[in-house]
Structure 1
Amino acid sequence: MNSSQPSTQQFVEVKEIRDSVVYLKGGGLRQILITSGINFDLKSETEQNLITSGFQNFLNMLDFPIQFFIHSRKINIENYLQKMAEFKEKEPNELLKIQLDEYVNFIRTFVEQNAIITKKFFVVVTYDASPINIQAAGGFGGGGLSGLFQFIKKKKTSQPNTELTSSQSLQQLSERTDQVLSALNQIGLKAAILNDEELIELFYNLYNPQLTERKISLPERSEKNKE
């Protein structure tokens, strides 16, 4: 391998992940929230109007850019099937063993023949030394790895801002995150800050879509828990 060729890490905008915060090479700070979803079509007209109005108010009160990010992946059932196989080995009833075998084969065949997609919803909260051009960054939308990094990428300045990663900057990011968490809760969405392990898993899944997905789910913990 030619050592003069740039390494993959040079193309990754993330500098480090620490205390539930993503530190970017350009100096920016990010926190990523995982949120629940709402089946809008099953809501009554009154409920739909309340949700729409609440979401509109949420967007209007923002004075900083955020990104809504959907991560879609084919469902991974290998761990579930492995648990069923272990359960079958411990089952003393031969008839139940046969039924478990048939069940596992049915589930495996069904998933192989039908693309079952799971979707996870994220909100990226930002803090930068200088404002981001939202249009240039692709707006609030975008999905997948390219959409995420189009948003978190910012133009490098000639002089690094040494104050950006100070406690004051982290406090500003935390206050913005609290604001977003509160607003999401008001429209009926549960949200939680991804901790370090969950952030690593998210980026692992984004960079390795062909590999087995590592599980990320909405944690059963306080929305502001960063541990």
Structure 2
Amino acid sequence: MPVLIILLMLVVVGGIGAGLFLLVKKLDPMQNDKTENDKLEIAQDFLPFDDIRNNMIIMPNHNYRAVIECSALNYDLKTEGERDQIEMSFQQFINSLNFPISIFLQTKEIDNTRRVETLREEISKTLVEFPGMKTYADHFMSDMENLNVRIGNNQQKKRYIVVPYDDAVALDGLTDGEKAAYANKELLNRCNAVRSGLDAVGIITKTLSTAELIELVYSCYNREGFSYAAAISSNEAFALFVDGAEDKFVDLPRVGMLDLILGEAINKLRAGNVDSEKNGQGAMQEMLALQKEATRRMEQIRLKYAGYFVDGGET
């Protein structure tokens, strides 16, 4: 009897182990799924989204996504006071959101194909007028074609924020097209809120167009030369994320809060995220004309009356 029980236990444990092994193997991204599905008739059926148009990714069940590209911020080169200002501005930005966002970091090999082709065309036109520069042009073209090898860096890092809108399914009485149009407006409002908050941090942002979204999605499915796992495993991608457990506003004096407000205003002036739609071109030109002088005057006011973060919190 005990032998029978032991045999049954071995069978059960073996079955569980085999099931776990198959599950892990199936989830392993390095394993290629070679199974066939007769219900999938076109390549689009393999993709987790339905379409990309109107500056948004259209997901199943009336879910939509917009993507914002963000510039880098040289956090390591900032002073301690400037770092505090960045963290506090970022904390305020996160606390102001009433919808979820996702942060996506992408590292890929730099593709200079278009740039090299454009340069080759320009050189050809130049040599028609100045044929004596052919030797110089050949050396210059050779250097530019191998630029990544010469500088020892062929990697490009980009940072994105994915903004969702999943509430369109609850809009009763609207057609699919009307739901998509409503979602597009809501995504625009959400993207503007995110960009405004990041302006205060000092980050330059851009909402991706339809063509740019297609390029981003294409690069995600063509991963040759891409590096995701290494950055995540070494914690490099998340090394400078702000620690949410620390509340820097607790002991902040009033002069510090004044300086934070002035600093964020200067960052917003420098960012200059003004959409140039319809009559926005004129507003953009006038704002750019005033931006430099306004930034200079704001910096003078900040140094005269505040300067808390500029001086490292010693004011």
| Same fold? TM cut 0.5 | yes
- What letter corresponds to residue 38 of structure 2 in structure 1? S
Q: Which residue of 1 aligns with 2:163?
A: 125
Bigger relative contact order (CA 8 A; separation at least 6): 1
1:54 to 50, 70, 89: 89
Matched, 1:174 2:188: yes
SS in 2 for 1:126: strand
1:189 to 200, 203, 215: 203
Q: Which residue of 2 aligns with 1:87?
A: 122
Alpha-carbon separation, structure 2, partners of 1:207 and 1:124:
17
SS in 2 for 1:204: helix
Task: Check whether the contact 1:15–1:25 (CA below 8 A) recurs between aligned residues.
Answer: yes
Task: Check whether the contact 1:125–1:173 (CA below 8 A) recurs between aligned residues.
Answer: yes
Rg larger for: 2
Matched, 1:70 2:105: yes
Alpha-carbon separation, structure 2, partners of 1:192 and 1:123:
10
Matched, 1:116 2:151: no
| Distance apart, 1:172 and its partner CA | 3.5
| Distance apart, 1:59 and its partner CA | 1.4
Alpha-carbon separation, structure 1, partners of 2:276 and 2:203:
17
Distance 1:166-1:106 versus aligned 2 partners, 3 A rule: closer
Q: Which residue of 2 aligns with 1:4?
A: 38
Unaligned runs of 5+ in 1: 131-159, 212-220
Alpha-carbon separation, structure 1, partners of 2:202 and 2:52:
29
Greater strand share, 1 or 2? 1
SS in 2 for 1:14: coil
Task: State the Cα deviation string for residues 80-117 of structure 1 (Å, max 9, x = none).
Answer: 22233233333244553212211222233342473411
Alpha-carbon separation, structure 1, partners of 2:118 and 2:53:
33
Alpha-carbon separation, structure 2, partners of 1:54 and 1:3:
50
SS in 1 for 2:92: helix
| Distance apart, 1:200 and its partner CA | 1.4
Alpha-carbon separation, structure 2, partners of 1:168 and 1:116:
41
| Distance apart, 1:30 and its partner CA | 1.2
Q: Which residue of 1 aligns with 2:311?
A: none
Task: State the Cα deviation string for residues 52-95 of structure 1 (Å, max 9, x = none).
Answer: 11111211222221011122221122222223323333324455
Greater helix share, 1 or 2? 2
| Distance apart, 1:33 and its partner CA | 1.0
Q: Which residue of 2 aligns with 1:140?
A: none
Q: Which residue of 1 aligns with 2:222?
A: 208
Distance 1:19-1:82 versus aligned 2 partners, 3 A rule: closer
Alpha-carbon separation, structure 2, partners of 1:97 and 1:124:
48
| Distance apart, 1:167 and its partner CA | 5.3
Distance 1:222-1:75 versus aligned 2 partners, 3 A rule: same
| Distance apart, 1:174 and its partner CA | 3.0
Task: Check whether the contact 2:69–2:205 (CA below 8 A) recurs between aligned residues.
Answer: yes
**More deviation in 162-171 or 72-81?**
162-171
Distance 1:100-1:21 versus aligned 2 partners, 3 A rule: same
Identical columns (%) = 25
Alpha-carbon separation, structure 2, partners of 1:81 and 1:172:
40
Q: Which residue of 1 aligns with 2:139?
A: 102
Unaligned runs of 5+ in 2: 1-35, 226-271, 279-315
Task: State the Cα deviation string for residues 109-129 of structure 1 (Å, max 9, x = none).
Answer: 342473411122211111223
SS in 2 for 1:38: coil
1:41 to 68, 71, 76: 76
